[in-house]
Amino acid sequence: MIESSYHPGNSFVHRFDPRAKLFLLIAYTAAMFLPYQIEILASYTVVMILLALPAAGLRSAFSPLKVLLPIMLLIIILTPPFYKEGEVLVTYNNWILLTDTGLIRTCVLLSRFIGITYVFFIFFRSTPLNQVILTLRWYGLSMNAALIISMTFRFIPYITATYHRVSEAHKLRGSFQSGMWGWSRIKGLVPVLTSVLIQTMKSIPVMSMSLEHRGFGRASRRTSYQRLSGGRKLFTHLTFSVIIALILIIPIFLV
């Protein structure tokens, strides 16, 4: 989610106030954990995937699904055997492999997993990182906590980029190939991950040094250059997001 971070754009998702977006992100995530029927959860998930189209474009909108695929497969394989109740749909040698309850539970888990991933994906894709930090501070996060998050945003892509460079270096050394699968891939990943670990560990003490060299820790009060605009737009967007949040939780009262 963070690795594929902000891409500029002019969609309504991009123009939506980040404070209202963050409020909706929390509301949506909470709603996805309410005991809704699968139809409702699935519709919420579909809406979020559709929102990714204007936020990320057709080419990138489905990229999170590719990343999630291994975990989705694990959910599909491991969830159904834990549910023996309900109508039996698939058996093998008297073993119940799939019941209708197991099927529904699997779909519920998949919907939650995909929906929540997509809401974060859209948020980070459509919101510049400095606005994310300012939004968190607007909601009361301390300067130090905001700085930690800010550096995380900087270093997750850094570690990812290091991983890509190191794996490229190892491809040319013959110790790691793109087409490797299974055990050979795991074996091939050992040199890559070892090199990444060495690189990352070396960066920790110099990072503290650099922070102090940039004046972090001074007794005098820090100023803040970046600010989020307020006014009528903020009020409108926050009101709109509260209405959406209410719509998201209305079904719980109808069940």
Partner 1 sequence: MVHAVYGRPEAGKTTLGRIIAGLVPAFTGGTITGEILFGKEDVLKTKGYDLLEHIGMVFQDPDEQILMPLVEDEIVFPLESLGMNRPQIHEKLEEEIDFWDLDELRNVNPGNLSGGEKKRVLLAVLCAINPSVWILDETFEELDEQWRETLIQRAVASGKTIIILASKHIELFDIYIATWSVIHDNQIFQGSKDQVLQLLGDNWEYKKLHPSMPYISHSVFENPEPILSVRNLSYTYPQGNSDFTLFVDKLDIYRGKITAFYGPNGSGKSTLSKLLCGLLTPDHGEIFFPDNGEKHKHAAVGALQKFTGYLFQNPDYQIFLPSVKDELMYSLLQAGVDKDDAYRQAISCAELFGLQNPNEIPSIMSYGSRKRLQAAVCYLLDRSCCIFDEADSGILMSEYIRIVDLFVKREASLILITHDLRLAKKLADTVVVFQDGRAQEGYYD
What is the contact surface with partner 1 in residues (CB under 8 A)?
5-8, 60, 128-130, 150-151, 153-154, 157-158, 161, 165-166, 168-175, 177-178, 190-192, 194-195, 198-199, 202-203, 205-218, 220-227
| Closer by beta carbon to partner 1, 144 or else 178 | 178
Q: List the one residue out of 21, 10, 11, 5 whose CA is nearest residue 233.
A: 21
d(CA 47, CA 24): 13
Neighbours of 75 (CB within 10 A): 18
> Going by C-beta distance under 8 Å and a sequence separation of 6 or more, which residues neighbour residue 168?
none
Angle, vertex CA 32, rays to CA 116 and CA 109, nearest 5: 75
| Closer by beta carbon to partner 1, 66 or else 213 | 213
Smallest distance, partner 1 to C-beta of residue 25, A: 19
| Closer by beta carbon to partner 1, 71 or else 161 | 161
Smallest distance, partner 1 to C-beta of residue 149, A: 10
Smallest distance, partner 1 to C-beta of residue 209, A: 4
Smallest distance, partner 1 to C-beta of residue 161, A: 6
Smallest distance, partner 1 to C-beta of residue 137, A: 12
| Closer by beta carbon to partner 1, 162 or else 241 | 162
Smallest distance, partner 1 to C-beta of residue 143, A: 10
| Closer by beta carbon to partner 1, 83 or else 158 | 158
| Closer by beta carbon to partner 1, 19 or else 170 | 170
